[in-house]
Amino acid sequence: MKHSQLFIDSLINPKKLAAYRIMPIGKVIQYVFLLITFVTVFSFGRFSSGVTEDLFNIDGLTEYIADIQWLLYPFAFIFLFVMTSLLVFIRISLYALAGLLLVKSIKRRGEYRQIWRTAAFAITWSTILSVVFTIILIPSSVPTLIGVFITMVLLIIALTKYPKLPQK
């Protein structure tokens, strides 16, 4: 399955997210890294264009950064990619943990690894909206709450499509 099809299904068809629970983990991680690359490239573009320059108010520090700029950019990109990867994987894992608690309460069959795969696709909207909200300059707590809400709604919809537990 192509990543573009996974992306489209993650955006407009939450019911298919349940079917992707049996997808190989390698394909899921590739998809997550594509999302991470999207966010990293956007954030690095903002950094390199000087949008975040107001963080450096000290004149000496600004001159020093101007002198070593050629060295700063590669390290900044790598650091940003690693930190974004860490945060996204932690978010997916926390959503999967919440989904595991939820799947037990709605009496569906599901393992943590399957719910993790579903959560990996469910964060697509949250990731795109975080970039959009950064452009619009909305305070960070509002996009975070909206992202959590949207991701949990998509995860709940997908979990309701998991197979039911057998009757005892």
Least Cα distance to 14 among 123, 92, 133, 128 occurs for 123
Lowest mean pLDDT among 19-28, 44-53, 81-90, 118-127: 44-53
Which pLDDT band holds residue 98 (cuts at 50, 70, 90)? very high
Specify the pLDDT at position 89. Answer: 96
More confident residue, 97 or 19: 97
User: In the chain, where are the structural domains located?
Assistant: 3-159
For the record, the structure tokens of 9 come out as 């299904």
Specify the pLDDT at position 87. Answer: 94
Taking only the tens place, the pLDDT of each residue in 9-51 is 888 888 888 888 889 999 999 999 999 999 999 888 887 776 5
What pTM does this model have?
Answer: 0.83
Is 53 a residue whose pLDDT tops 60?
A: no
Q: Alpha carbon of 25 to those of 2, 21, 60: distances in Å?
A: 14, 9, 48
